[in-house]
Amino acid sequence: MKTVPFTFELAGPDFVPSTYDNHIQRRLSAMKGQYLDQAAYAAMLAEGDPLLYEVYELQRPTVAGELLHGISIVHPGLVGDEYNMTKGHFHEVLETGEIYYCLKGRGFMVMETPEGETAVEPLFPGRVLYVLPRWAHRSVNASLDEDLVTFFVYPGNAGHDYGTIEKQGFRKLVVAQDGEPAIVDNPRWGQP
């Protein structure tokens, strides 16, 4: 881990950082129970286990004062009518926020609070999104032919709570309707 100030580059077309410490790959099998169309999910999984998204992280100490940062790349595709997306999470330390900067593609950040407030914000190149503390967040790629690439920064002590979303899902879904993305209520929200 670096002990002096450092720089790196994020360059197109893929925006993979010129230096990184961790490369995480999440496949369809990691998304059990998250997609509305469970039959389509099972059918796809029987055919293989496609790569849905990747994260490149620069390692820093997981303590308050440090800033964890990296790149998220959500590949294009559909499971049933639902666009490819990340698992989504609350921060373990709920009172911590996050900043996303969209570098490439077209998509949405789906967000909600434990109290049931929801927000869905479009992402496109040049757009900055500030995710307030307490808001769970999930990136959705709403393009069928291009990656959604975002740069993210969040506090070193934030941690991740994936379990709550794995159990209940998000209240809002982004689905393809007549070839266009639409935001709809999740009829399975809260069901295991």
- Residues that bind Fe ion in the complex, under the rule CB under 5 A: 98
Please tell me whether residue 184 adopts helix, strand or coil conformation: strand
CB of residue 100 to Fe ion, shortest distance in Å: 9
Closer by beta carbon to Fe ion, 35 or else 152 = 152
What six digits make up the tokens of 108?
């949405």
Q: How far apart are CA 124 and CA 122, in angstroms?
A: 7
By beta carbon distance, the residue nearest Fe ion is 98
Contact, 152 vs 70, CB < 8 A?
yes
Please tell me whether residue 55 adopts helix, strand or coil conformation: strand
Asked if residue 13 has a cis previous peptide bond (ω within 30° of 0), the answer is: yes
Closer by beta carbon to Fe ion, 85 or else 175 = 85
Closer by beta carbon to Fe ion, 82 or else 98 = 98
Q: Whose CA is closest to 88, among 167, 5, 9, 3?
A: 167
CB of residue 12 to Fe ion, shortest distance in Å: 24
What would you measure as the largest C-alpha separation in the chain, in angstroms? 52
Closer by beta carbon to Fe ion, 124 or else 162 = 162
CB of residue 97 to Fe ion, shortest distance in Å: 9
CB of residue 88 to Fe ion, shortest distance in Å: 9
